[in-house]
Every structure is written in structure tokens, then in C-alpha cells.
Chains A and B, each alone.
Chain A
Amino acid sequence: MNALKFGPGLIPAFPSPRTSGQAPTEVITQEAGIRTPSGPSLRVNPLVREGDIVGQGAAVACLRDAPQVQFVAPMPGRVARISLHPGRKLSEIVMFHETAGDVVQHKRPDVNTPAGLRNLMQTAGMWPWLRRRPFGGMPSTGESPAAIIVMAMDTRPFAPDPRQALEGREAAFERGLQALSGLCDGPVFVCQTSGTDLCAPGVGGGQVRVVDVTARHPLGSAGFQVHALAPATIETPVWDIHAEDVAALGDLLATGVLPMSRLVRVAGKGLRESRLVRTQPGADLRELTLRAVAPGAHRLMSGSPLDGHEAHWLAPRHRQVTVLPRAPKGKPPHWFVSAITRSGLPRPVIPTAALTQAFGAALPAVALVRALGSGDDETAMKLGALSLLEEDVGLADYVLGGEAHLAGLLRAMLDRVRTELAP
């Protein structure tokens, strides 16, 4: 009956089989792939060679321009393959699980200073878990954000509940928040669904504020919270991070070991049963869906049905795996029909209440869509497009029948603005 209540946003319904049990199962996949976060492709230096055995949390690659930012092994294992694109841009580092491997413990000499904390986060492999806006991707090493948004809610279809991920880790979460508040001068917002507050008042010297948000998509998407709470501009970047990663930061500070398991929901129409698992970043999607996939061709996607992409490994920051049946290839349409229907893209968008709600009624949606479609970057920036990324407009793209290509238009606009205006 939640669907009948009034309020901004939508509750998109996708079919998926039931989850067996509420408790997550621990799964460490035999293979894992390390990739860089989405955003501009990054040039890296591999720190290991193929065949090396590394412990969990050991650095396997670092950024070429900022060697202190390291990518770490999500499990103890053997480096199977390092593949780089031209220009030493990382494609992926594949690892095989070795049960006998150790776990790297990081030294924490001066984590009470902002510089020390940054250093620890960068060397421990936590830095790529942060994402900055505008433009997306991980922040540069010395960047100071105007605000940090901690997403303790996720309204995407099939998303696991961050509250469940935080169960029993409240102290670590508060420790993580306390640390984050040292990284920026502005506020740290904890966005949660209505219920008990996830952190006690007064954490971070009053810098941490809890915000209750309606549990409808896209309001639980980080972009719309950035837009509502602290708009990102070129001069004032805003970071966002998942609440589970904040708890991981708390654990890292307490023990020196970065926890490498995250709550992941495996769901979708192409499954016989949905699963809730705790697995490592970069987990092998085929192994996560083994013996659960329904017969027939299917698509394995990292991410939600709205903003996911077909992948082999669980993408950085993703906490969902979606399995959809692959539609059989039909007969190609008649050339005349193609000539008529495939021309004039992107198609015009008709303003409806559905479009307004697909943007959470948070901004003049039609004006933004028209500005993106016509390449009017100035208007789009004025309307708050710098706070948004592709995943935030996934719902609008879905609602509009996939003809508007908003994610592509938004990315093109952000790239243009970055080239022209960003320092």
C-alpha cells in the first residue's frame, strides 16, 4: 500500500524470485577482478607481477600520478592476470583465491590528523570508495570537500538495506563518521530512511547531521541528496560514500585491517531464487549466481536494473547483482521502419507527471531534460546538473522508455563542462 501514498519519487517494481532467508551468507568467490572506479580512466603502476601471492589488503597497483593512492587485493590470493589498456590505464587485475594467505595490517601512526587519516585511507585502498561530484570518479588526493553525504539508504530496486549492513557495527560507523568529519570543514550528512537515528547526536562536534529521507527512488540516490543538501559546483565539490564503507573505515581505524566484505543482493527475473550475500569487492558474478540462475540465456549485470551494466566482476561501489533473461534476437526490422524509427534521436520528451516524479520532484525536470537534449550546458548547470551522475538519471531513462538517453547526454555535458571550466 506504500505505492498509494502521496510523496515525491516512484517505487519501480521489477519481478524477482523470493530471497531465501533474511540472513546473508558469507561467500568469498574463487576469482575476483580489481578495476578502477567509473569516471575518467586512471593511469596506474602495477606493484605486483603475475603469479605473485599477496595478502588481503596488500597493494597491487597505485596511481601513476599519485602513488600513495593504492588499489588493494580484496582477498588473499595469487595474481592471475594484469591487463592494462594503452597509456597504462587499468583494465583489470584478476586474482585467484588462496586460503593460506594472510591479512595485511596497516600502521596507524597519526590518524588523528587529517593528513594522516588521508594517508591511511589512500594506502589502505579506501580512497576509491569515495566518490566526488561534480563529474564523478574518486577525489584527488588533496581535495577538501564542501560536504560529505553518507548514504545509509538505497532506494534502487533490489538494493540491500544499509541498516542491515550496519547491524552490530554501530560503534565502527560512529568512529568512521567522526573520522570523516575531520576530512572536511563543512557538514557530514547521514541520509537514512525514517526510523531510529543511526548515530548519536553530537558526533564529530555537531558536524554530523542525520537526515530522514522518503524511501522512494530516486530520493535515496546520492545525487538527489547532494542536490537537496549541499549542491556540488566546480568550486565546491561534494563527496559521497556508502554507510557500510564508513563502518569499514571505523574498523580500519580501530584494528588497522580494512574489512573486505560487503552486503550484496543478487536478484532479478533470470534467477530461481534471490540471495543476500556478504562478499568481497570485485567478486566474480558467475560464482555468485551459480546454481541460482534459471535455465536459458541471461544477462549478468553489476548494479541495479536501472543503472547496472553487464559485467564479469562486481563493480567498485556496487552492492547489487541483477540477472535478467536475455531477450531472443528477433528478426531485424524492415529497412523502411528502421529509417523512420531510428532517426531523430534522442526522441522528444513529453512532460508528464511520471517524468517529474522520476526526478523526485526535486528540480524542474523538463527544463533540465530539454537543456541536456539541446546541449545548453549553462542552463543545465543552473538547474543542478553538476550534482548528478549517470546513475541518478537511470530511473528517468527507464521511465521514458529508454529513448531519451539522458545518462549519455548528462555524461557528455559533464565532460564538456570539465574540459572547458574545471581547473
Chain B
Amino acid sequence: MKGLWDRETVALMLLAAYMPLALFWVWYGGAQTLVGLGTAVLCLAVWNLVFMLARAQPPSFAALITALAIAMLAPEDLGALRMVLGISFGAVMGELVFGGWGRNVVNPATVALSFLGFGFPGFAWPGFDDPVIWAAIPAALIGIATGIMPAAVLAGAILVGGAALALGAPVAAALPAAGIVLVLLVADPVTSATTTVGRWMNGGLYAGLVLVFATGWSGAAPVQMAVAAALLTSLATPLLDEIAITIWVAQRRRRHGRN
């Protein structure tokens, strides 16, 4: 008698949720996107194989999600060598050395993209066609409906982003890329916050950082800002969870006199 929600099932459902985004991106991007995706998948497969043989770490379908996120968001025309370098750094240092998907503290795709961004600043960041941007919405809805994406993270980000827009902050240009990064990187169930309060703060912090970058970081591309915000947010996530748990424990202590 077994339930459904083991690691690989969740990885496959997450992959299914990202399908609208991936299909529209491939459809509008053409064969070039497939080359990038293939490179990323191949590189991650090799590293997963290495860790499987060296550390007996079971490989995960989540590598495909990482590959998709890197292929979609990486700077353009990097060339195979730089891509492989960035992906290897992200996958190994961001995920595999911690014990594989599920034990990582930062999203390997975020690490790889940040590495590529900092390491090779001369390359242009990608832009997205409108249908691809809109496809992020069904991806998020599937993720929320099946419970594999934290709804509060998305809600927190939308709340802060919506408030900024309503107040007239100049963030409209950064919004599409920020939305895609939110769905692909920030709403990852493993590395986002795990408590409800922490998730609201997590989403809010991401949107807040995008807002800060959009207003103060001149010359940066929207995807670059969003990836940088995602990296900083994921580093702050354990702190947000700690705050949320401290509040929860304090509330229980007040109610029961003990916990």
C-alpha cells in the first residue's frame, strides 16, 4: 500500500505542470531552443550519472526541470563550452553535493544562471514572446491545483507586484521575465519556504527585490534582474522559515503555556 507523493512522482508532476511553458517556448523559439535544451539535458545527465556511480545517489527526473529552466533563461549565444561550465557548476554545487534533488538548499538552475550571468556579462539575456509569457499562468495553475507548487509564494509575489503596479512603480518592463522566473525558479517546492507565513514572505521578498532592481539597477536586462532576485530570495528562505516557526512556537506557548 503506497501513496502517490514520492520524490519522482512529484518531479514528473512538476514537469507536467511546466509543459505549457516548455511547449510554447519551443514552438516560438524553433530548433535553436532544442539545441540549448539538449545541451543542458545531456550535461545534467552526465553529472547525475557521475553522482549515481560515485555516491550511489539515485538520479531524478527533476534534472529535466533544471535543464528546461537553464535553457529558457540562460544568456544567448554562449556557446557549448560556457554553457557546460555554468550548468556543471550549478548542478554540482547547487544540488548534487547536497545529496540530490530534495536535499538541496538552492535551486541548481538559479545557481547556474547566476554563474553564467556573473561569469560572462557580455552576452545578451533572452526575451520572450507574448504567448510564452502567458503560458506561465497555466503552468502555475496546474502546479497550485495539484499542490506541488506553493500557492502562498505565488500569491505573495503577485500581491507585492500588484501593489507596486497600482502605486505606479516603473516595473512593467520587468514583469514578464519576473513572472516566468517566479514560476520556473522561485516556486520550486524544494527550495522555497515551507511554512505558510514563510511562503508569503518568500513571494513578497522576491517581488520586492525585483522592484528594487527594476527601479535602481540601470542597464540590467529583465531576466537578469529576476534571476538575481531569485538567487537572493532563495538564500534568505531558511531565515524566513525560521522566523515563521519562531512566531508559530511563540503563539502556541502563549496559548498553552508550553509547546
Contacts and interface: CB of A to CB of B under 8 A. Distances in A.
Interface of A: 14, 230-231, 233, 235-236, 305, 324, 339-341, 343-344, 347-355, 363-367, 382-384, 398-403
B6 interface: yes
Q: Which of B1, B4, B102, B150 neighbours the largest number of chain A CB atoms within 10 Å of its CB?
A: B1
Contact of B259 (A339, A349, A384, A400): A384
A367 B102 contact: no
B195 interface: yes
Contact of B249 (A236, A340, A382): A382
**Which label, helix, strand, loop or mixed, suits the secondary structure of the B interface?**
loop
Contact of B102 (A324, A343, A347, A402): A347
B99 A364 contact: no
A350 B3 CA distance: 13
A260 B56 CA distance: 53
B2 A398 contact: yes
Interface in B170-209: 189-190, 194-195
B147 A353 contact: yes
B241 A367 contact: yes
Closest 5 CB pairs of A and B: A348-B102, A353-B147, A401-B6, A366-B194, A343-B56
A351 B190 contact: yes
Interface residues of B, number: 38
Given A233-B258, A343-B58, A348 B99 contact: yes
Interface of B: 1-7, 9-11, 52, 56-59, 99-103, 146-148, 150-151, 189-190, 194-195, 241, 244-245, 248-249, 252, 256, 258-259
Q: Is the interface of A mostly helix, strand, loop or mixed?
A: loop
A367 B6 contact: no
Contacts of B241: 364, 367
B197 to A, nearest CB: 9
Contacts of A363: 248
Given A400-B5, A400-B6, A401-B2, 17 more contacts: A231-B256, A236-B258, A305-B1, A339-B56, A343-B56, A343-B57, A344-B99, A350-B11, A351-B189, A351-B190, A352-B147, A353-B148, A364-B195, A366-B194, A367-B241, A383-B249, A401-B4
